[in-house]
Structure 1
Amino acid sequence: MRILVVHNRYRSGQPSGEDRVVDQEIALLTDAGHEVTTFLRHSDDIAGLPLAARAAVPLRVPWNRAVRAELTSRLRRERPDVVHVHNTFPLLSPSVLAACGDAGAPVVATLHNYLRVCPTGTLFRDGALCTDCAGRLPLPAVRHGCYRDSRLATVPLAVNLTVNRHRWASGVARFLCISDAQRQLLIAAGMSPWRLAVKHNFVPDPGKYRNGAGEHVLYLGRLADTKGVPLLMAAWDALAAAGGIGVPLVLAGGGPLAETVAQWAAGRADVRYVGLLDRDACRELTARACAVVAPSTWPEAFGLVVVEAMAAGVPVVAAAHGAFPELVDDGETGLLHRPGDATELASALRRVTVPQWNLQLGEAARRRYEKDFTPAVALDRLLSAYGSVLA
């Protein structure tokens, strides 16, 4: 097949799981013998634009005429069998869908977040699930300044959602949700269920697997409130006050709470903060973990870190909402805790480190990975989606 991938890459200073998923899918399709070309924009390029062009970026979030013309020309010249759209914010805009319509190219779009029903794509505000803008004018988002805590900065996203709602509904043949939990939320928010299929993200086999019971509990990800970092700190402090669980907590990542975490970890034997690491170092830390913890307070649409742990034969302790309950079989491949409950999280961390049970959980986690999250499984589901659109 000939596939054109459309994607706006995120800023390199803010590592993106979405960018990684796109890169892995391109490699997966190419290795399987398909012809993949790309139509990309890079958010890093914004900083190098002239001042006037930088100021115009928000104005082009809802619609970028130049992008439409450029992509239409590409499509008419290359004639791909299908166009796979990922992120269009902020430099591409939904004008890419008009270009596909101009050239008669069928479109599949992966929904990595909730941008189709929420201006910021999170369905999250003030520490809780928020659907105030779903299916209606997104005035609440503007009123609350949901994007970067700024009403002015939120306006282009609110306009984008409003004026392009029909464009997405009519211009995309199949939406790929990255979890059934995400699909159900989108249906409840008013999206048509028959266009929403589920295709989980996949993880390449890491080549590094746990050998033994592991030597630490690992948090790997963005250091932010929505990821449950303050909750984890409170749970770990409670465990430490009760004598600990025999292994340290290692935190790897960056984000708005990085300085807070560094100060919290300083001088402690039971906590290590190692900052941002490359992929190889992350895989090594994961393979040496007795458990990976994902205590998000936001209902995640997926959880790459969860599947990466399972691929290495490591059980996961995760919050029981969003996609996590469909990724983690409670008591079989890991443990789930009540979202936002530090006491339950502490209890789950204590139980998951019981040696014999921990090994059983890890072996079951690896089997679940082999069943549902390998590249071969992902390729089959991806090609099935393309085929259904072409048919």
Structure 2
Amino acid sequence: MHVFVVHNRYVSAQPSGENRVVDQEVGLLRAAGHRVEVFERRSDDIAARSLLGKAAVPLLVPWNPAVRAELAARLRTERPDVVHVHNVFPLLSPAVLAACADAGVPAVATLHNYTQICPPGTLRRDGRQCTECVGSAPLPAVRHGCYRDSRLATVPLAVSLAVNRRRWWSGVARFLCISAAQRDVLVRSGMPRERLAVKHNFVPDPGACRAAGGEQLLFLGRLAEAKGVRLLMAAWDEIAAGGGVGVPLVLAGAGPLQGEVAAWAAGRDDVRFAGLYDADECRQAVARSVAVVAPSLALETFGLVVVEAMAAGVPAVAAGHAAFVELVEDGVTGLLHRPGDPASLASCLRRITADPARGREMGRAARRRYERGFSPAVGLKRLVEEYGTAIAGRSAPTQGGDTRPFRGDGDSR
């Protein structure tokens, strides 16, 4: 199969699970003998632009005509079987879908977040869940400055969502959700279930599982409020006040709370702030852990760090909502705490460290869950199946002969 992968890479200064997923899928397809071309832009390149070039970036978010022309020309020359679209913000834009239509190549799109129904893609505002823009014009997002707390920065995203709804719906043969929890939210927003397939992210086999019970609890990810970092610090302070759990807490990552986390950890024996790990350091840190902690407040569409822990035979302590409920079987492959509740999180951390034998059994069960649902073999099979469905239906009408686009308001007119 000949596949074109389209992706706007996020900035490298902060960890991006999406970048990692894209790279891993490309490698997986190539290793299986498929021909894969990558059409990409890099957000890192914005810094090197002139002042005028930087000022023009917001104008390209809703539509980049140069990208349409360039991609269409390549598709006509290369004639791939399918185009797989990932992130298009900020430099690619939904113009990539027009390029696919120009060249007559079917497109598949992985939905890594909620940008189809929410301008910043998070369904969160001011530290809480928010659905004001779902099924309506995205004016509330502009009013509240939902992207980077800036009305001006939110405008291009809101405009793109408003003007490109029809383009997304008419231009994509198959939408791939990365969890059933995400698909359910999108279906409730008005997107028909039959156009949304669930294809979990896969994780490469690390090659070795945790050998013993572990020596630390690990938070690995973006240091941001939505990821539950302050919640974790509050829970850990409660644990420390009660005498601790015998192992330290390691926080690894970067983000807006990095300074706060570093200051909180400074001078403590029970906490270590590790900064940003590279890929090999991440694997080693996971393999040394009693459990990986994922206390996110957001409605996560997936939990990559949880599945990476499963692959290493390490259980997770995760928030009991969204995709985590789908990934973690409470009491079997890990523990689920009440979302947003520091006392519940503290209780789960105490439980998973108090019984090493039980923790090892959870780790073995987590590894079995990984092998059944998130291994490269499973990921490749699902990916190729979805490509085949898109290719087979490139000229077929939608169910009932209806080719009308999704409006995002519960109506497909």
Structure 1 residue 364, shift from structure 2 partner: 0.3
Structure 1 residue 316, shift from structure 2 partner: 0.3
Q: Deviations over 1:353-384 (max 9, x none)?
A: 11111111111001000110000000000000
Percent same amino acid among aligned pairs?
69
CA distance in 1 between counterparts of 2:213 and 2:329 reads 20
CA distance in 2 between counterparts of 1:73 and 1:305 reads 38
Structure 1 residue 322, shift from structure 2 partner: 1.2
Structure 1 residue 208, shift from structure 2 partner: 3.3
**Is the aligned partner of 1:229 residue 2:229?**
yes
Q: Deviations over 1:23-77 (max 9, x none)?
A: 0000000000000011111111111112212111101110111111111111111
Structure 1 residue 15, shift from structure 2 partner: 2.1
For the Cα contact (< 8 Å) 1:178–1:199, is it kept in 2? yes
Once the two structures are superposed, the pairs formed by residues 304-343 of structure 1 within 5 Å of their partners are: 304-343=304-343
TM-score normalised by the chain length of structure 1: 0.99
What residue in structure 1 maps to residue 356 of structure 2?
Answer: 355
**Is the aligned partner of 1:111 residue 2:124?**
no
What residue in structure 1 maps to residue 140 of structure 2?
Answer: 140
What residue in structure 2 maps to residue 92 of structure 1?
Answer: 92
CA distance in 1 between counterparts of 2:187 and 2:263 reads 43
CA distance in 2 between counterparts of 1:2 and 1:262 reads 47
Greater shift, 48-57 or 297-306, is seen at 48-57
What residue in structure 1 maps to residue 191 of structure 2?
Answer: 191
Greater shift, 185-194 or 174-183, is seen at 185-194
What residue in structure 2 maps to residue 367 of structure 1?
Answer: 368
Structure 1 residue 234, shift from structure 2 partner: 0.8
CA distance in 1 between counterparts of 2:90 and 2:290 reads 40
CA distance in 2 between counterparts of 1:216 and 1:64 reads 47
Structure 1 residue 192, shift from structure 2 partner: 2.0
CA distance in 2 between counterparts of 1:207 and 1:262 reads 32
2:269 alignment partner, SS class: coil
What residue in structure 1 maps to residue 286 of structure 2?
Answer: 286
**Is the aligned partner of 1:218 residue 2:243?**
no
Q: Quick one: which amino acid aligns to residue 388 of structure 1?
A: T
Q: Quick one: which amino acid aligns to residue 267 of structure 1?
A: G
CA distance in 1 between counterparts of 2:94 and 2:197 reads 21
For the Cα contact (< 8 Å) 1:208–1:283, is it kept in 2? no
Gaps of at least 5 residues in structure 1 are none
For the Cα contact (< 8 Å) 1:209–1:312, is it kept in 2? yes
For the Cα contact (< 8 Å) 1:320–1:339, is it kept in 2? yes
Q: Deviations over 1:282-340 (max 9, x none)?
A: 11111011111000011111011000111110110000011000000001000000000
CA distance in 2 between counterparts of 1:44 and 1:251 reads 25
Q: Quick one: which amino acid aligns to residue 140 of structure 1?
A: P
Moved >2 Å (runs of 4+) = none
CA distance in 2 between counterparts of 1:272 and 1:65 reads 48
CA distance in 2 between counterparts of 1:58 and 1:310 reads 40
CA distance in 2 between counterparts of 1:93 and 1:325 reads 33
For the Cα contact (< 8 Å) 1:123–1:130, is it kept in 2? yes
**Is the aligned partner of 1:298 residue 2:298?**
yes
Q: Deviations over 1:255-282 (max 9, x none)?
A: 1111111111111111111111111111
CA distance in 2 between counterparts of 1:83 and 1:209 reads 35
The number of equivalent residue pairs is 391
2:118 alignment partner, SS class: coil
For the Cα contact (< 8 Å) 1:86–1:111, is it kept in 2? yes
For the Cα contact (< 8 Å) 1:2–1:81, is it kept in 2? yes
Q: Quick one: which amino acid aligns to residue 42 of structure 1?
A: R
What residue in structure 2 maps to residue 152 of structure 1?
Answer: 152
Greater shift, 24-33 or 204-213, is seen at 204-213
For the Cα contact (< 8 Å) 2:15–2:254, is it kept in 1? no
What residue in structure 1 maps to residue 40 of structure 2?
Answer: 40
For the Cα contact (< 8 Å) 2:15–2:253, is it kept in 1? no
What residue in structure 1 maps to residue 398 of structure 2?
Answer: none
**Is the aligned partner of 1:387 residue 2:354?**
no
For the Cα contact (< 8 Å) 2:14–2:222, is it kept in 1? no
Q: Quick one: which amino acid aligns to residue 119 of structure 1?
A: P
Q: Which has the higher contact order (CA 8 A, sep 6+)?
A: 2
Q: Quick one: which amino acid aligns to residue 208 of structure 1?
A: A
For the Cα contact (< 8 Å) 1:3–1:84, is it kept in 2? yes
Q: Quick one: which amino acid aligns to residue 302 of structure 1?
A: F
For the Cα contact (< 8 Å) 1:208–1:284, is it kept in 2? no
CA distance in 1 between counterparts of 2:117 and 2:45 reads 27
Gaps of at least 5 residues in structure 2 are 393-413
What residue in structure 2 maps to residue 239 of structure 1?
Answer: 239
CA distance in 1 between counterparts of 2:344 and 2:148 reads 32
CA distance in 1 between counterparts of 2:52 and 2:216 reads 50
For the Cα contact (< 8 Å) 1:131–1:189, is it kept in 2? no
CA RMSD of superposed structures (Å) = 0.8
Structure 1 residue 193, shift from structure 2 partner: 1.3
CA distance in 1 between counterparts of 2:367 and 2:307 reads 9
Q: Quick one: which amino acid aligns to residue 144 of structure 2?
A: H
CA distance in 1 between counterparts of 2:29 and 2:327 reads 24
For the Cα contact (< 8 Å) 2:15–2:221, is it kept in 1? no
Q: Deviations over 1:340-361 (max 9, x none)?
A: 0001101100111111111111
2:346 alignment partner, SS class: helix
For the Cα contact (< 8 Å) 1:5–1:38, is it kept in 2? yes
